[in-house]
Amino acid sequence: MNFSSLVGRLRPWLMASLVIMFGALAGPAAQAASFQPLEIVTKSGVHVFSVEIATTEQEKETGLMYRKELADGKGMLFDFSPEQEVSMWMKNTYVSLDMIFIRADGRILRIAESTEPLSTRIIPSRGLAKGVLEVVAGTAQKYGIQPGDRVGHPLFSGH
């Protein structure tokens, strides 16, 4: 066996090892690899956000924990399908957030504004929610986002 055939046989193993190694180095604050657009239709117009999607239990448990900043226009959308009572908290979350609870039909149920960083206080949906959008604190007020406004994203029917 020559050197190039040995490298060819080892390449998949080496690539997998590198992916695992770099994944471990990223740690708990790792960000999702891709963002999706999400629109919120308010009385003042349509506001577009770029959101990471949290669908797995680990992604939902970690959320935006350990992050030191969240840019305006960015966020994280939590998929709690099927629609259910949802409770969130700010444990290990350094950035104050607006939590926007969204019903299955895409209508905003409730907004918890300017949540307290690092708090273990439970923040309930106060009704059935299919998703929760977390954005930087002040976003709801800045864009006039209110309960009843419509969220456009494939997660919600009516999009």
Over range 87-94, report the average pLDDT: 96
Contacts of 74 (CB under 8 A, 6+ apart): 35, 49, 50, 51, 135, 136
| Whole-Å CA distances, 70 to 15, 82, 95, 147 | 31, 27, 7, 23
Over range 90-107, report the average pLDDT: 97
pLDDT digits (tens, 9 = 90+) for 126-142: 999 999 999 999 999 99
Whole-number percent of the chain with pLDDT over 70: 78
How far apart CA 83 and CA 75 sit, in angstroms, is 20
How far apart CA 15 and CA 29 sit, in angstroms, is 23
Q: Does domain 31-152 have CATH number 2.60.120.1140?
A: yes
Instruction: Give the residue extent of every domain in the chain.
Output: 1-28, 31-152
Instruction: Output the CA torsion 66→136→56→149 (10° steps).
Output: 170
pLDDT digits (tens, 9 = 90+) for 2-59: 544 444 454 444 344 333 333 333 444 444 557 899 999 999 999 999 999 998 999 9
Q: Measuring CA to CA, which residue among 86, 116, 69 is closest to residue 77? A: 86
